[in-house]
Amino acid sequence: MKNLLHFIVRFHFTILFIVFEIFCILLLVNYNNYQKSEFLNSSNAISGGIYQKVSSVTDYLSLAKTNEELNRENVRLRNLLHSSYKLTTDSSFVFLDTIYKQQYIYRTAKIINNSVNKQLNYITLNKGRIHGIEREMAVVTDNGVVGVVKSVSDNFASVISVLNDRLRISAKLKGNNYHGSLIWDGVDYRKAMLKDIPFHVKIAKGDTIVTSGYSAIFPEGLKLGVVDKVMTSSGSNFQNIKILLSNDFKSLSYVKVVGDLMKEERLKLEEEATE
């Protein structure tokens, strides 16, 4: 017994070390069982408080990712929104969810190529046919119209930008519903022209221009821009109006692609009528 005590006293450092290591390794291996123990829970109240303070700072570092998630969430919610649905018949239905039938469907996409300095500007999106994107879908942001899908491959879509003089968008004055068409004159990426507004219509600087809904591409009422300058030329029945576009095409990143679920029905009807 005396010898044993001598041994322990002499090698207490190593013995204590081995005891601690065994304890640590047991903790390490059985970590999940210890997680629920009382001791660690009270400790976590302290560590939790500190972590909250720390994360309020470090959250800034993940803003880009958070933005993308929020954008996706926005699109999902927009799909549930009233304005994406259309009244199918009269209101004699009993259930609310059968009164409205969805007409517009929104999908999110990211711009991976964009230009503003050419005459014919095109935009490339990171989504394509397999994501449900088709030709002649509208591309918009919360600020307004971006363009129209021109062609799609399996994974990408090419969009005719508003900044392309081959694209004419049916637009109207929000205040009085006079409609004309919006084209880009190829000069300034922030400005476009609204044509075919008759001479007698009174227009003030700052009036809002929105999409008319006359084409089967854009839903009605999407913002295009505001009136910047009204130019009258003698001998013409129409006014030339300079529009300040609401989208800054140099800083676009995420867009929404709008599909019209009733487009075919509408086009078929319109075709029948003109035959």
Partner 1 sequence: MNIILKNIIRFVVLVFIQVAILNNIQVSGFVNPYMYILFILLLPFEIPNWLLLILSFFLGFSIDIFSGTIGMHASACVFMAYVRPYVLNYLSLRDGYEVGTYPGIAYLGFAWFFKYALTLIIAHHSFLFVAEAFSFANFSETIMRIIFSTFFTLTLIITSQFLMFKK
With contact defined as beta carbons under 8 Å apart, do 101 and 83 qualify? no
H or E, element range at 101 = strand 100-102
Q: Which is nearer to partner 1, 10 or 76 (CB)?
A: 10
Is residue 60 a contact point for partner 1 (CB under 8 A)?
A: no
Is residue 8 a contact point for partner 1 (CB under 8 A)?
A: no
Which of 53-61, 75-83, 93-101, 263-271 is the region at the interface with partner 1 (rule: CB under 8 A)? 53-61
d(CA 11, CA 161): 80
Report the interhelical angle of 12-29 vs 2-10 (nearest 10°).
70
- Near partner 1 by CB under 8 A: residue from 28, 64, 96, 231: 28
Is residue 21 a contact point for partner 1 (CB under 8 A)?
A: yes
- Near partner 1 by CB under 8 A: residue from 17, 67, 70, 112: 17
The least CB distance from residue 81 to partner 1, in Å, is 39
Beta bridge partners of residue 86, listed in sequence order: 101
Is residue 44 a contact point for partner 1 (CB under 8 A)?
A: yes
The least CB distance from residue 11 to partner 1, in Å, is 11
Is residue 51 a contact point for partner 1 (CB under 8 A)?
A: yes
d(CA 156, CA 132): 11
With contact defined as beta carbons under 8 Å apart, do 148 and 137 qualify? yes
Structure-block tokens of residue 40: 């660690």
DSSP annotation of 219 reads: P
Contact positions vs partner 1 (CB under 8 A): 12-14, 16-17, 20-21, 24-29, 31, 34-35, 40, 43-44, 47, 50-51, 53-54, 58
